[in-house]
Amino acid sequence: MSKPIGALNPQRLEHFLMRYEEMPAPRFMYGSHYSTPGYVIGYLLRKKPEYMLKLQSGRFDKPDRLFKSIEGDWKNVWENPTSLKELTPEFYQSDPSFLVNQLGLDLGIKQNGERVTDVKLPAWAKGDPKRFLDIMKAALESDYVSNHLHEWIDLIFGYKQHGQEAVKANNVFMYITYEGMVDMDKIKDPLEKASLKCQINEFGQCPRQIFKIAHPARNALEEGKAPPELGTAESAEEEEIDWNKHSVPTEVAKNNLKNVELSSLYSSTGKPKLKTVLSMGKPADVKFSEIPKIHRAPITRIVPLTSRPNTVVTIGQDGFLKVVDLYDKNCQKSFKICEVCISAIVAVKADELYALGSWDNNIYLFNIASGNKSKPVVAHNNSISDLKYLQRKKRILSSSWDCYIKMWRVVGSNLDNEE
């Protein structure tokens, strides 16, 4: 998953790199893309034949070029210099209709005399499309993929999508596939503009680059890496901690914190758990009351509700905001805010309106009472690292991994950038 499709086969990659070195600017390694309308339509032929009929002027493509077997498609992306496609979400869902010719379509006869009907599955699927999808889904959700998914994110959405890092990763496509590389407003010739638009639409386009630095591994905490402020359990005794940076400056608290093992933050399976401290006296008196797991990924912030002392708001890397009752030990409300990590939260109106910062560079305003979410504001050029609310000024301060601080004014249910 650390390599683009074009770099999987070393022999084919050598051909691409040789051509790249001999090419005048703007250079590219791959003359086709990993996601195009044609690829999607090809995979959905049996489920949505009307898409291909529209693309092909009322006809299906040649039988030998149709999607007809998993093995054939794999060999194609391994060997063919013009095929770099990745799979569509349908391969990891539960509907097998795109694999079976349920509509009885006449897809033609190949040159070897074989008629094209259902998609031929690998032997391990035992001829069962549902079993095939179940195994594909299990593979996608496996620990291996979880531990390496960030490498694929770096290529598609991250710092290896563009520039010198993309060159090092053998991940360079034609310039028109990148967002913002073609300024249509400067092209005066209507024919040239129409041609470029058609080329971009049909050739494929890279998604917006979200991350400018390496994406962290999804299971980084489960692999024993400690939260960055505290260091590992082993190093806590060896390294001098700057206690001015923490909210427990007393010598007693310092000794107690050093004696709380980091492993107490995790369950026996290594999964993160939310725990609340009930008492803290001598090191031996530290006790915890365990709350059932409420997030599917590490929790990033906890904010107590002022009007309900036993209730907190939590956010996490799973993109959810949750309202948790510590007394009853249950999740009272759960809201999906975005698809990536929510990294910062601050109350704008106590116990009701919150500003949320995310790894998608956006700030959201969310009302936990009504469940209403504002339209996201693209606040920075990188992930939001922190948010603060200035009560007297009625302003929100946002900071980001792009090294900038900005000030925002809340106007109704929207944000207005001031500086």
Position 245 in a domain = yes
The whole domain housing 331 covers 295-417
Shared domain check, 390 and 278? no
User: Within the chain, which residues score under 50 in pLDDT?
Assistant: 221-284
Tell me: do 87 and 229 sit in the same domain: no
Q: Is 210 inside any structural domain?
A: no
Q: Please report the pLDDT score of residue 220 as a whole number.
A: 54
User: Shortest CA distance to 372 belongs to which of 380, 360, 364, 384?
Assistant: 364
Query: For 6-46, what is each residue's pLDDT tens digit?
Result: 999 999 999 999 999 999 988 999 988 998 888 999 999 99
Q: What is the pLDDT of residue 231?
A: 33
Q: What pLDDT, on a 0 to 100 scale, did the predictor assign at position 293?
A: 82
User: Do 248 and 109 share a structural domain?
Assistant: no
- DSSP per-residue codes, 353-384: EEEEEETTSEEEEEETTT--BPPPEE--SS-E
Count other Cβ atoms within 10 Å, centred on residue 90.
18
Q: What is the CATH number of the domain that holds 306?
A: 2.130.10.10
Distance of CA 239 to the CA centre of its chain: 34
Shared domain for 409 and 276, answered yes or no, is no
Residue 152 shares a structural domain with residue 78: yes
Same domain, yes or no, for 322 and 241?
A: no
Report yes or no: 170 and 17 within 8 Å, Cβ to Cβ: yes
Domain C-terminal end among 176, 203, 230: 203
Longest Cα separation, the chain: 83
Is the pTM of the predicted complex or chain greater than 0.75? Answer: no
* Residue 71: CATH number of its domain: 1.10.1540.10
Same structural domain for residues 302 and 286? no
Is residue 212 domain-resident?
A: no
- pLDDT (0 to 100) of residue 292: 75
Domains in the chain: how many in total?
A: 3
Indicate if 20 and 97 belong to the same structural domain: yes
Per DSSP, the three-state class of 142 is coil
Q: Is residue 208 part of a domain?
A: no
Structural domain contains residue 34: yes
pLDDT digits over 166-209, tens only? 999 999 999 888 887 777 888 888 888 888 877 777 788 899 89
Helices in 62-116 by DSSP H: which ranges?
70-79
The residue out of 270, 293, 316 marking a domain boundary is 293
Are residues 176 and 139 part of one domain?
Answer: yes
Tell me whether residue 133 is in a domain: yes
How far is residue 115 CA from its own chain's centroid?
Answer: 40
- If asked whether residues 162 and 254 sit together in one domain, one would say no
Q: Which residue, 267, 293, 319, sits at the end of a domain?
A: 293
pLDDT in tens, 236-265: 333 333 434 333 333 433 343 333 333 333
Same domain, 22 and 144: yes
C-alpha span between 178 and 190 (Å, rounded): 21
Strands 287-291 and 299-304: unpaired
Tell me, yes or no, whether 87 and 50 share the same domain. yes
Task: Let me know if residue 14 belongs to a domain.
Answer: yes
**At 342, which amino acid appears?**
I
